[in-house]
Amino acid sequence: MNQYLFQVESDSEGLRLDQFLVSELEPYSRSFIQKCIKEQKVLVNELTQKSRYTVKEGDMISVEIPEPEKPDIKPENISLNVVYEDESLIVVNKPQNMVVHPSAGHWEGTLVNALLYHCKGNLSGINGIIRPGIVHRIDKDTSGLLVVAKTDHAHRCLAAQLAEHSMHRCYEAVVRGVINEEEITIDAPIGRHPTHRKKMAVVKEGKPAVTHIQVLRRYPGHTKIRAKLETGRTHQIRVHMAYIGYPIVGDDLYSRPEKKFNLLGQALHACELGFVHPENGQWMQFQAPVPEKFQQLLESLE
């Protein structure tokens, strides 16, 4: 049984109990949280409450979540684009249409399945059997660079850099609309969408999120941008660009579909990744060119 204890802070006051817990217990779904509340596995100030209970500042909320059945995550001989590898870590250039780690509906064909085969199981165990070695993630339909830890020591060091915002992560994207400014900083909190479970949104009670945008090239009706992450919230660049009115081309979740460009997903690519090596303390920085479909999009905009 996994046990959690939360104290409600002022910026979360007024949320429904289930909504508050979904924001704190990602990636558990709202329906799963509501089931736990109904089964009295959630206590507010040592009392049971309903999902619609409105949380107040200072409330102490305890949650018991049963241990999930451990799935059998199998190594798979899937081709990987390895950018760098040593005994501590591996940097890969993930293609679009590949999920990073197994989850409901995606138990095979993930980056983790491929890494288990490639690394012969030598991955950090900090994140358990479903996410071994995974320090950070990018979306299924986003391509680009990821660093994966082979040892627990490397995992802790890389995770610390991620938490203190010293890891360098830059993306290239094509957005709808022409951005007039040369640079924009978007500072807007992101949390779970209040009604759409699969979406994130800029919400008052969300977690701090900062994205720095630089215009690289303007086209008629579109703009190529460079996005530097200061924080790393789920769907951060996609949410922020849609929020300011320049959604990413091909992002059907946060914008209307655009089929004319024949993309595999959103035109978003993790092009640069930099960090301090956990063992020798040296700064390491990697670059990855945009994939073929992304390049074809740029050529079609010329």
Each residue of 228-277: pLDDT tens digit?
999 989 899 999 999 999 999 999 899 887 777 778 789 999 999 999 99
Catalytic residue, from 18, 59, 72, 139: name it: 139
Quickly state the pLDDT bin for 182 (edges 50, 70, 90): very high
Q: For the chain, give every domain's residue range.
A: 2-65, 70-164, 170-270+294-301
CA-CA distance, 68 to 1, in Å (whole number)? 9
Asked if 146 and 170 touch (Cβ cutoff 8 Å), the reply is no
- Picking from 118, 121, 113, 131, the residue whose alpha carbon sits closest to that of residue 91 is 118
- Residue range 143-169: mean pLDDT, rounded: 94
Q: Give yes or no on whether 70-164 and 170-270+294-301 have one common fold.
A: yes
Asked if 153 and 87 touch (Cβ cutoff 8 Å), the reply is no
CATH superfamily membership of 70-164:
Pseudouridine synthase (3.30.2350.10)
Compare 73 and 241 and report the one with higher pLDDT: 241
In angstroms, the Cα distances linking 111 to 104, 121, 215, 277, 297 are 15, 13, 31, 22, 26
In angstroms, the Cα distances linking 160 to 21, 125, 156 are 25, 16, 6
Q: Compute and round to an integer the Cα radius of gyration of the chain.
A: 20
Q: Which tens digits make up the pLDDT trace of 109-123?
A: 999 999 999 999 899
Is 18 a known active-site residue?
A: no
CA-CA distance, 251 to 258, in Å (whole number)? 8
Topology of the domain comprising 2-65? 3.10.290
- Residue range 53-77: mean pLDDT, rounded: 85
Identify the pLDDT of residue 129.
79
Whether residue 278 is predicted with pLDDT greater than 90 in this model: the reply is yes
CATH number of the domain at 170-270+294-301, please?
3.30.2350.10
Task: State whether residue 108 is helix, strand or coil.
Answer: coil
Q: To the nearest whole percent, how much of the chain has pLDDT over 70?
A: 97
Average pLDDT of the residues of the chain: 91
Quickly state the pLDDT bin for 70 (edges 50, 70, 90): low
- Give the global pTM: 0.76
Whether residue 197 is predicted with pLDDT greater than 80 in this model: the reply is no
